[in-house]
Every structure is written in structure tokens, then in C-alpha cells.
A and B are shown apart, each in its own frame.
Chain A
Amino acid sequence: MGNVSTGSAMNDSILAAKNLSKEYDSGSKRLKVLDDVSFEIQKGSSCAIVGPSGSGKTTLLGLCAGLDGATSGSVVLSGESLENLNEDERAAVRNRNVGFIFQNFNLLPTLTALENVMIPVELQGGKNAREKAEELLSKVGLGDRMDHYPSQLSGGEQQRVSIARAFSNDPKILFADEPTGNLDEETGEKIEQLIFDLNKESGTTLVLVTHDLELARRTDKIFRMKGGRLELKESEKAV
């Protein structure tokens, strides 16, 4: 069974998945990409989801972050049950609680670095979006590149903007999908360090999807996905 329960008390949970399944139509067949997955993640902890391509890692991340709906089962994110919410309500939950870092950075090409970072705060209706974005961009070392468009930045710089954006709405939980997958080794290491430093500083929960076991080992827990099922590989792993 893929039912893994980690952590101590239920009221400290930031993310809880119960009997999650996801099926797709594939021609005349039903394809099960996630099979009865249950787990729980505590506030302030970090975990990594590892596994081969096609094992269901990204699908699980999508369901946990409320980007998609499960075929069956439930997800409770920051105390809010996602399965009964429509897409706009889930968007509001994401905006209040979630930060994202993507493998391909996913910056809006028509907006400057600063404007990209401002979006989550602006969506919350926050009045200090610019100040906050400037502070974060300075923190990730891009204080002098704020008015540059994504096409004018290198891959590492784009990912730093993406990290600044992910932290801008003070998320309770940060989802990172292969954050160093598109970067060279040296840049990748710097980005890793930046994520962990900011995570520690802000006390955010971190959920990392990666192929990179070295990176995974820096988290508190590692979950292994295989054929749509989840198993705990290492528990309470100290960094």
C-alpha cells in the first residue's frame, strides 16, 4: 500500500492526502497514474518526491497544489479541503498558501523581473507589492536587474526571479518541480542553496519533486513514487 503517515500530531499538518487516485482516458482504456496515495506533511518540514519518469510525481504535485482534481480521495491544504472547491476557489487557496518553482522557470515573458515577482502580492490585494518584490529580488542577488525582461536574463537568473516570486506571497508551503533540472551543475547548486536558505529563513514547508537524489537528501523526508504508488524511502532524515 502507498499509505504513508509521517509526523506527529494531526493539527500540525499543512498538507494531507487521503486515498488519492487519478485516472485518465487513454484511447479506449483507463490509465491509472496515481493509485490510492495517502500521506501527511507537517508545517515547516521539507520533503522530496523522487521516482522514475512516468511514476506519477508531477501528477501528485499537481493534485496536492490544487492544480487539478483527483478521481477519488481528498487533499487538505492548510486546513482547507480541496475536493469540493471549484477552480477559482482553488486558485484563491493557492494564492493564500502556495508558492511555486518550476523546472522551466515559467516567468511571464512580457513582464519585467520586478513585475513577475509582484504578481502574487498584487493578486492578494497587497499594497506593498513593489517594495516586497524589490526586497526579494535584492535578496536573490538581482537588485540591479529588476527592470529586465526574462529574455534578457540567463537561466539561473530566471530561476532566481522565479524563487523570489515563489516567496513573495509568504506561502505556507512551497512546491518546487525539478527546480534545477534546466540548469548547469554550478548554477544548480547555487539555486538549491538559495531555496533552502530562504525556506529556513521563512519557515515555509517545502515539497520538492526531483530526479536528483543528492538534492532529495537535503530534505527531511524522501518519498519514492513507483507505478503511481507512494512509498517512504527514508524518514526523519537529517540534513
Chain B
Amino acid sequence: MSTTTIVSLPDQSTARIPKMNFLTKENGLLSWLLTSDHKRIAILYLISITFFFFIGGSLAGLIRLELLTPQSDLMAADTYNKVFTMHGIIMIFLFLVPSVPATLGNFFIPMMIGAKDLALPKINLLSWYLYVFGGCLVIYTMAAGGVDTGWTFTTPLSTHYVNTNVMSTGLAIFIAGFSSIFTGLNFIVTIHKMRCPGMTWFRLPLFVWSNYAGSILMVLGTPVLAITIVLVALERTVGIGVFDPTRGGDPILFQHLFWFYSHPAVYIMILPGMGVMSETISTFSRKRVFGYTAVAFSSVAIAVFGFFVWAHHMFIMGISNYAALVFSLLTMLVAVPSAIKIFNWTLTLYKGSITFETPMLYSFGFMGLFTIGGLTGVFLGSSGTDIHLTETYFIVAHFHFVMVGGMLMAFLAGIHFWWPKMTGRMYPEKISQLAAVVTFIGFNLTFFPQFILGTLGMPRRYAAYPPEFQILNVFSTAGATVLGVGYLLPVIYLVWSLKYGAIAGSNPWQATGLEWQTQSPPLAENFPITPIMDHEAYDYDWLESQQAKEVASV
């Protein structure tokens, strides 16, 4: 079996979890709630975003159940509107935006650059509290009857015509937004100022580069969303008129401001996932990432281009033809850096010694599904086809391919990849491989039919649909059930592995990152002494020579 796996675990009969680590350093609830350790905050985040993921997921289940039949029979039409709105808000603001950065990024960026902590540990803790406060407000909103504007808060619907909980949801997003501003700000400062000796910019793992690019988007984009929400709140309470055409305002201005954040936001969601891909694909094909510099800069390019494409969400909203033309062209530019990434990962696989551990299976899932999601994005970016496809299930399928097929796969790849480092124990390999395959099958069964439904013209955001669409909707709902199983399995076996998993040792994957060169789980200050980076990133020869030295000295 030695050719089919790279996993090298210590001898289980003698191996122990190190007694001194960040988990055992202090005990008690307060030691968690008042911690400034980036690793503990990452775990707090992991627990809270998993909680919200399952709330958002149950809402998705309700949506699919309603759409099993053409009539609106499981719930009333307004209830359906509330359910899909809450699904979108929870999944976007409380799961996708913080998913990889706030958990894996928080845990591993300081370790990857050889630092003891993020630059601003208290701000890091504050960002978690803001997240939790925002999350509680969302739960309050749901208990108080929900909100039914769609996650986009389109004016004048949100300001004039609906009488649901727009204000509390707006406040929740405003607060959660500050949580992500603080996370992004902290990452940028940390990556600039906290790198260990020898850790130059081009020795940084690509995970750090892509989180850096994502952080730029968080820092520049989120404040614009914040002021937009303030304006919506004022419009709704005082009736100030900036977005109200009867008073001389302009609802299109709302769209510009909203999408100025919310388009870059999809890159906030996907970029950190792409960083996970670079790590897993390199590790499980035992090769340096092909075209390191190109992959690093493609992250930055996505961040930069991402700010100049927002109006492609507005092709049918009354922007000028010339604006549509320019934004259509700019949108296609984003395909270039995304393609650079996919091609470079493919070339990393080429002649690599590939093994198929769970993180790698999820990564393959990501590459395939993200490519489909990304390419259908080009259809939607062409203003001509967009006019036919927008507001149909084609859009729904497109962004779920990118966000669920892409980002969620990347998140699960990352969680499995770094689980041994975070907890000191391995997850069970066989069942997790099964979960990865189930997720992939369930995902395709759920969302592929939606592309067809979209091209046939089924509109999104309605509780009822013409009966001829039923067969494809039944496929989609069946797929969602399979997908649900695929997401429940990891929760069960990962919790199980906390107690019964095999002892992982410090470097089970034989990976090269600095985070793997210290004990698992790490010490509270990460490294016993400040490391010095004296080799390039993903240098497997260096790793081998290190191990040879160790053997020689023992």
C-alpha cells in the first residue's frame, strides 16, 4: 500500500498527543471566551459557522421540498420567500464569507508565516464576538417572522413595499460586515509585518497569497456595503429619498453601491478556497505548485478585476448599453486569472505522484465543479445571453456550482487536510472518502438539472412552477437529500475522531508548510523557537533532506 498513500503516522502503540498544546494550556469556558490565541478563536469560529451552516442547510432542504411539486403546497408563497431569503443571508454572510478565512485562515496564516499570533489578537476576538452578535440578530429575525426581500435587499421593495424585519437583518449584516473587515485587516497587517526571518513574499504558501487577496476585498468592499445598509435603513425609517425615484433619488444607485460590495464578495468567498486547493494539490501530488508566481499573482488579479465588474448584475436593470458592453468585457477578464489557476493546478498534477486521500478527492471535486461554474459565468457575463438567462434557475445553478461545488468543497478539503494539525488526531479515511464521493454525486444531481431548468426558462424565487418542469425538480430534490447526507457524515465522524481517531503526529501528509514542522496540536505560541525560512515554498527535496538528517541524528 505504500505506493497508494503518503500518510505516515507515528507508531500508534507509543504515540501520544503532546501534553503541552494550545488546547490544554488553559481550561474552562472563560479561557475560551476571553482567549486571544488565534487557534482558539479559529475553533470558536469553526463551531459557530458550522451551526449556521446547518441552519442555512435546513432552509435549503425546505426550499427543495417545496419545489418537489409544481404547486405551492408545503408552505405559503410568502413563507417560501422568507425561507429562500434567510437561506441566502445565512449562507452568504454567516457561512461563506467567514468560512475559510476565519477558521483555517485564522488558524494557519500565522503558523504558515512563522508568527506567534495574528498582529491584533484582541481585534481578532472582537471580530468573533461581532460575528456571533450578528448571527444572534439573524436568529432573532427568523424568530420574529423573517424577511422576504431576497438577500439582495432590492430597493424599493426593501424600503417601501415589505413590512418584514428588514431593519434587524440590515443591522445583523452591518455588524457581521465589521467582523469580516476586522478579519481582513488583521490578515493584511499580519502578512505584511509578522513574517519570520527568511519568509519573503515569494516563499509564502499560496494559501497566504489568496487570503491576502481576499482580505483586500474585505477591507475595501465591506465598508461600502455598510454605508449602503445605513442608507437603506434611513430610507425605510425617515424616507430620505436617495433611492426613491418619486423624491428624485435613484434605485439604480442602490444597485451600484450594493454590487460594488457584493460582487467582490463572491471573490472574498472563493479566493481563500483556491488557496486551500494550492496546498492540497501540491501535497497530494508531491510537487511544487506549477507556476507559483503566476498562481500568486492570479489571486491578486482576481481581487483587482473583481472591483470592476459589478454592473454585470445589472444588465436588465436599466444601465446604458455602453456600460453593459464595458462591464461585459471586463467580466470576461476575470476568467483569465481563474483559468491560470485551474491550468496551473492541472499541470501540478501532471507527472506528480498523486494519492487519493479525502482532501484530494474534495479538491478534484472543486476543480471540476468550479470549472463548470466558472465557464457558465462567462455565459452570464455576455450581456446578450444574460438577458435570456438572468433571474432563471441557470443563475441559481451557476453560483451554487461556484459557491457550493467550489467553496464548500474547498472548505471540506481544508478541514480534512488540517484536521490532524488542529486536533492531533486523524479522521477515519474510508468513511470520509465515501462522504466526499457522496457529496460530489449529490451535488451534481442537485444542481445540474437546474442549468437545464434555467435554459428552459424556469424563473428563480417562486414557490410554484409549470408542471412540465417537475421531473427535473424531482431530480434536484433527490440530489439535495444525498447532498445532505454527504454534509452530515463529516460532522459525525470528525466529532468521533476527536476521541477515537489515530494519533496523527506532527506531519502525517509529509507536507512542506511551516505549520507541519511543529507538533500537533501546536503549542500556544505555535513554535518553540522562531523558525527561519531557508528554502522555497513546496520544496519536497528540502523536506526529505530534513528527514534524512533527523534519522541520522537519532
* A joins B in a complex: no
**Interface, chain B (partner A; CB < 8 A):** none
Q: Which residues of chain A have a CB within 8 Å of any CB of chain B?
A: none
